[in-house]
């Protein structure tokens, strides 16, 4: 089902081409001045420049071509040549009926592509914290959006599990437990059960990091341990596997609490064996060269406005870098799924790193025809404008953030007098859903590249542009439909709009596909978050103006019930793409 804006653009473009003017001048958008028209085309101005005529004269000719079109109730000209369009109520009724009957609710599916979304990036042996929030939420939403749009999508957590921190942990444990079998030469056997828990690792990690900063000898030992691990020393590999396993078990819990899932649970270590043959290939192609003892790929290009450092493959001590494993990961993904695109949902401050990796991958043709894209994002800040921390000044763990949001939601639900009659377990689950909706919508309603202020008191409100407000509107529609069913009032055929508020609601519902398209193209969930809020607000105005259950005209009441049910379906769809659940009751 083509989008409304595309259909209108086709109609107006045909009028321009009949006048011998380029079709692209007929592009139609939503009017910025609703009192003049529902939609607007500004093509007469550039057309006038091309034709050497007055823009209003061009507009008049276009309007004459559009006169009597069955979809249009009114076509007018404003100012120097802005063309304003209003749809007929009959056209609105026909289109919204088609949306209501469509399992995709009026959103066309695109041609399928294979896409890998890299959106995790936590480190093994470390607790997830608020700094991991945006990658998880934005990446999960993009994955869901792309799947709904028709793509085959793989979500990859891409763990940090192979660098110096692993060597630091090994060195720290050898210092504390020199008798463990992992530190002896030889091939084992080694214990099947991990000698360390994730809680142990969360203590050991900062200990080892701190010791490395204070003790040069320990740092050197950690570097040697890292090199030995990467070279395949059996005891170190066995100990590393324990680190990995206990960390992934906890990560699955933490991500699961957020409603975030991945298809691939692997990290840098998974591509270690691909690095040597890849580097050999880069050498054979003349792309890798030595520089001060290191092996690098020059990636500077003519026209660069800033200095572009080379991508380091091996440091002078033989250690691999993040760029090396990122390149090898591209090789791995090409072998597994041949992606049309790889999208990296990572802090935008890593932009230089990804530009280096992308240029090296393109030069080496590691994944022919693949689009590499860094969907960068800004930071989550406290009310002081600085990166969000606990009251004690530390980095807040993700689990603590979720608990805090759930508690705040429970307090706000009680304050609002909601969920009083629900069983305790359902009330607790509702608080969880509302707390997560508050956090997710606050993040995803912002353009991803911007920073935003974390203000939980504002996020959990049931009024204004918040996740709980959208949930409440969904619950209200569910309640309306239950009451209608109790009264034997059933949905029926959609009629032409009977009120301005109904007309505005239908117009907004018909713009869902355009919002989806913008969100897909911009990699911006905020586009559909904005649309969802505007849908809820439009329904609220319609609900206040049109008293559905008390309407005496049975056909009109049935039409309004169908419209309400379709609003709920659209709201459920979009909120699901944002990772937000709507409670059954509240």
Whether residue 104 is contained in a domain is answered as: no
Please give, one letter per residue, the 3-state secondary structure of 477-508.
HHHHHHHHHHCCCCCCCCCCCCCHHHHHHHHH
Task: Select from 236, 136, 129, 255 the least CA-distant residue to 188.
Answer: 236
Same domain (yes/no): 415, 500: yes
Same domain (yes/no): 63, 205: no
Same domain (yes/no): 420, 558: yes
The whole-model pTM stands at 0.94
The tens place of each residue's pLDDT in the chain, 586 residues long, gives: 678 999 999 999 999 999 999 999 999 999 988 889 999 999 999 999 888 889 999 999 999 999 999 999 999 999 999 999 999 999 999 999 999 999 999 999 999 999 999 998 899 998 888 889 999 999 999 999 999 999 999 999 999 998 899 999 999 999 999 999 999 988 889 999 999 999 999 999 999 999 999 999 999 999 999 989 988 999 999 999 999 999 999 999 999 999 999 999 999 999 999 999 999 999 999 999 999 999 999 999 999 999 999 999 998 878 788 899 999 999 999 999 999 999 999 999 999 999 999 999 999 999 999 999 999 999 998 888 887 876 666 778 888 899 999 999 999 999 999 988 899 999 999 999 999 999 999 999 999 999 999 888 999 999 999 999 999 999 999 999 999 999 999 999 999 999 999 999 999 999 999 999 999 999 999 999 999 999 999 999 999 999 999 999 999 999 999 999 999 999 999 999 999 999 999 8
Same domain (yes/no): 210, 71: no
Question: Is 74 in contact with 86 (CB distance < 8 Å)?
Answer: yes
Total domain count for the chain? 3
Whether residue 546 is contained in a domain is answered as: yes
Whether residue 69 is contained in a domain is answered as: yes
Domain boundary among 207, 234, 258: 258
Phi-psi region of 197 (alpha: psi -120 to 50; beta: other; left: phi over 0): beta
Domain boundary among 37, 52, 87: 87
Same domain (yes/no): 414, 532: yes
Same domain (yes/no): 549, 433: yes
Tokens at 32, concatenated: 């910025």
* Cβ neighbours for 224, distance < 8 A, ≥ 6 positions apart: 167
Cβ neighbours, 10 Å, residue 181:
14
Tokens at 226, concatenated: 């890292």
How far is 69 from 75, CA to CA, in rounded Å?
10
Half-sphere exposure (Cβ direction) of 515: Cα atoms closer than 13 Å: 25
Q: Please state the φ and ψ torsions of residue 383, each to the nearest 5 degrees.
A: -65, -15
Same domain (yes/no): 47, 195: no
Same domain (yes/no): 518, 418: yes
How far is 398 from 202, CA to CA, in rounded Å?
14
CATH number of residue 39's parent domain: 3.30.1360.70
Whether residue 206 is contained in a domain is answered as: yes
Asked, as a colleague might, if the bond just before 197 is cis with ω within 30 of 0, I would say: no
Write out the residue range of the structural domain in which residue 59 sits: 4-87
Whether residue 483 is contained in a domain is answered as: yes
Whether residue 502 is contained in a domain is answered as: yes
* Cβ neighbours for 25, distance < 8 A, ≥ 6 positions apart: 13, 16, 41, 43, 44, 46, 47
Same domain (yes/no): 83, 169: no
How far is 18 from 309, CA to CA, in rounded Å?
54
Give start and end residues of each alpha helix (H) in 341-459: 351-364, 398-415, 424-444, 456-459
Whether residue 58 is contained in a domain is answered as: yes
Whether residue 180 is contained in a domain is answered as: yes
Domain boundary among 243, 258, 273: 258
What is the three-class DSSP state of 294? strand
What is the three-class DSSP state of 76? strand
Task: Select from 179, 186, 163 the least CA-distant residue to 243.
Answer: 163
CATH number of residue 526's parent domain: 1.10.730.10
Same domain (yes/no): 416, 545: yes
Same domain (yes/no): 438, 544: yes
Residue 390: per-residue pLDDT: 67
Same domain (yes/no): 62, 176: no
């Amino acid at each position: 089902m083509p989008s409304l804006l595309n259909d209108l653009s086709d109609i107006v473009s045909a009028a321009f081409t009949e006048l011998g003017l380029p079709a692209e001048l007929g592009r139609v958008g939503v009017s910025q001045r609703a009192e003049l028209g529902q939609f607007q085309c500004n093509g007469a101005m550039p057309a006038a420049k091309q034709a050497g005529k007055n823009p209003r004269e061009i507009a008049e000719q276009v309007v004459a071509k559009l006169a009597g079109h069955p979809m249009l109730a009114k076509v007018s000209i404003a100012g120097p040549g802005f063309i304003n369009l209003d749809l007929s109520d009959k056209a609105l009724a026909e289109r919204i009926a088609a949306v209501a009957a469509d399992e995709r609710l009026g959103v066309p599916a695109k041609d399928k592509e294979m896409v890998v979304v890299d959106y995790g990036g936590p480190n093994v042996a470390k607790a997830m914290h608020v700094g991991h929030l945006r990658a998880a939420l934005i990446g999960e939403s993009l994955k869901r959006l792309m799947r709904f749009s028709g793509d085959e999508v793989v979500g990859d957590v891409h763990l940090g599990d192979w660098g110096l921190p692993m060597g630091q942990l090994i060195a720290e444990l050898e210092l504390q437990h020199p008798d463990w079998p992992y530190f002896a030469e030889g091939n084992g056997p080694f214990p099947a059960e991990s000698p360390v828990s994730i809680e142990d690792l969360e203590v050991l990690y900062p200990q080892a990091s701190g010791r490395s900063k204070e003790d040069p000898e320990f740092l050197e030992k950690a570097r040697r341990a890292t090199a030995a691990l990467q070279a395949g020393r059996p005891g170190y590999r066995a100990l590393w596997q324990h680190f990995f396993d206990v960390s992934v078990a906890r990560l699955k819990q933490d991500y699961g609490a957020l409603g975030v899932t991945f298809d691939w649970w692997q990290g840098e270590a998974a591509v270690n064996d691909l690095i040597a043959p890849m580097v050999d290939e880069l050498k054979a192609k003349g792309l890798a060269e030595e520089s001060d003892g290191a092996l690098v790929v020059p990636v500077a290009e003519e026209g660069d406005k800033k200095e572009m450092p080379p991508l380091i493959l091996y440091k002078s001590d033989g250690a691999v870098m993040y760029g090396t494993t990122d390149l090898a990961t591209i090789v791995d993904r090409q072998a597994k799924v041949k992606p049309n695109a790889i999208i990296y949902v990572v802090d935008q401050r890593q932009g230089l790193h990804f530009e280096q990796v992308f240029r090296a991958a393109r030069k080496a043709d590691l994944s022919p025809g693949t689009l590499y894209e860094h969907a960068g994002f800004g930071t989550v800040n406290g009310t002081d404008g600085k990166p969000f921390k606990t009251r004690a000044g530390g980095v807040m763990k993700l689990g603590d953030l979720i608990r805090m949001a759930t508690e705040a939601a429970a307090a706000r639900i009680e304050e609002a007098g909601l969920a009083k009659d629900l069983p305790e377990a359902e009330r607790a689950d509702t608080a969880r859903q509302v707390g997560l909706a508050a956090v997710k919508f606050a993040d995803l309603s912002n353009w991803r590249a911007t920073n935003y202020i974390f203000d939980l008191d504002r996020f959990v409100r049931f009024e204004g542009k918040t996740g709980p407000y959208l949930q409440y509107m969904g619950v209200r529609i569910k309640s309306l439909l239950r009451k209608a069913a109790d009264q034997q009032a059933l949905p029926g055929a959609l009629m032409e709009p009977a009120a301005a508020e109904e007309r505005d609601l239908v117009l907004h519902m018909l713009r869902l596909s355009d919002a989806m398209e913008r969100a897909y193209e911009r990699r911006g969930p905020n586009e559909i978050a904005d649309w969802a809020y505007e849908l809820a607000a439009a329904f609220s105005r319609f609900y206040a103006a049109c008293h559905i259950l008390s309407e005496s005209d049975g056909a009109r009441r049935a039409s309004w019930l169908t419209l309400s049910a379709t609003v709920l379906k659209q709201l459920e769809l979009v909120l699901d793409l944002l990772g937000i659940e709507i409670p059954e009751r509240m």
